[in-house]
Amino acid sequence: AQRVTQPEKLLSVFKGAPVELKCNYSYSGSPELFWYVQYSRQRLQLLLRHISRESIKGFTADLNKGETSFHLKKPFAQEEDSAMYYCALSAFSGSARQLTFGSGTQLTVLP
Amino acid sequence: SQTIHQWPATLVQPVGSPLSLECTVEGTSNPNLYWYRQAAGRGLQLLFYSVGIGQISSEVPQNLSASRPQDRQFILSSKKLLLSDSGFYLCAWKDRTYEQYFGPGTRLTVT
């Protein structure tokens, strides 16, 4: 069965500092990985997906199959980046493709 | 455009009472639908998913059940709530891509 691990429950950085949110996964197949974000009083929403190799709001994430990691990075954190971040893995289970989420990391960017 | 609704937004119920949470999706047909529970420090746990009317798959054995009486309606129910059922319940739908779209959620407190 697939598993997603986010080792940090809470992470605080100062504005302008680099930030890295860690995500490791275990899955026997070819993984499809995502980062979801939930800002205060807003819905959970997709931030980025590894297959599109895009940078969203300055965030990037590289899939490292050797280390089974998909860490989320931003070189200069902003206060508006404060939110709950979830790493997720998409895999078939039963009759449908499902997302398995990590336990989340609460990021706080301090002024 | 597609939208997803959940109600109620918040609910306080005594132990042993029944539960019915509703989720509806607009602007799409035959979506995959999902119920998640978000508990503090435990991330998002997939409870049920449905690939079509009347088709429900359960991921976690519990005293909750789900039904899909219409293509774009997904209901989470319980005959008798437990204290451990307290949490934040999220409904999501998925189109043909990998992305899931989440509703605003229902905060359930069992007292």
**Residue A106 sits at the chain B interface (C-beta within 8 Å):** no
Distance CA A78, CA A14 (A): 8
- How far is A44 from chain B, CA to nearest CA, in Å? 6
Q: Which residues pair with A84 in a beta bridge?
A: A38, A106
CB pairs under 8 A between A and B: 57
Name which of A74, A59, A68, A57 is nearest A23 in CA terms: A68
With beta carbons less than 8 A apart as the criterion, state whether B64 and B47 touch: yes
Q: Look up residue A52 and give its DSSP letter.
A: G
- pLDDT tens, position by position, A64-105: 989 999 999 999 999 999 999 999 998 877 667 788 899 999
Task: Give the model's pLDDT for residue B34.
Answer: 94
A101/B105 touch (CB, cutoff 8 Å), yes or no: no
Measure the CA–CA gap between A94 and B59, rounded to whole angstroms.
Answer: 10
Of residues B43 and B7, the one with the higher pLDDT is B7
Sign, CA torsion A40/A71/B43/A52: positive
Instruction: Count other C-beta atoms under 10 Å from residue A10's C-beta.
Output: 9
Does residue A30 surpass a pLDDT of 90? no
3-state secondary structure chain B: CCEEEEECCEEEECCCCCEEEEEEEECCCCCEEEEEEEECCCEEEEEEEEEECCEEEECCCCCEEEEEEECCEEEEEECCCCHHHCEEEEEEEECCCCCEEECCCEEEEEC
- Which residues in A lie closer than 8 A to residue B41 (C-beta atoms)? 9, 103
Please state, in angstroms and rounded to a whole number, the distance separating the CA atoms of residues B98 and B93: 10
Predicted pLDDT at A95: 67
Residue B23 CB: number of other CB atoms within 10 A? 25
Q: Are B74 and B66 in contact (CB under 8 A)?
A: yes
**Given an 8 Å threshold on Cβ–Cβ distance, is B90 in contact with A44?**
yes
Q: How many Å apart are CA B94 and CA A26, to the nearest integer? A: 23
CA gap B13, B106 in Å, rounded: 13
Residue B8 Ramachandran class (φ > 0 left, ψ -120 to 50 alpha, else beta): beta
B104 interfacial to chain A (CB closer than 8 Å): yes
Q: For B26-78, what is each residue's pLDDT tens digit?
A: 998 889 999 999 877 677 888 999 999 999 988 876 789 999 999 999 999 99
A94: left (phi over 0), alpha (psi -120 to 50) or beta: left
Alpha carbons A81 and A95: distance in angstroms, whole number: 36
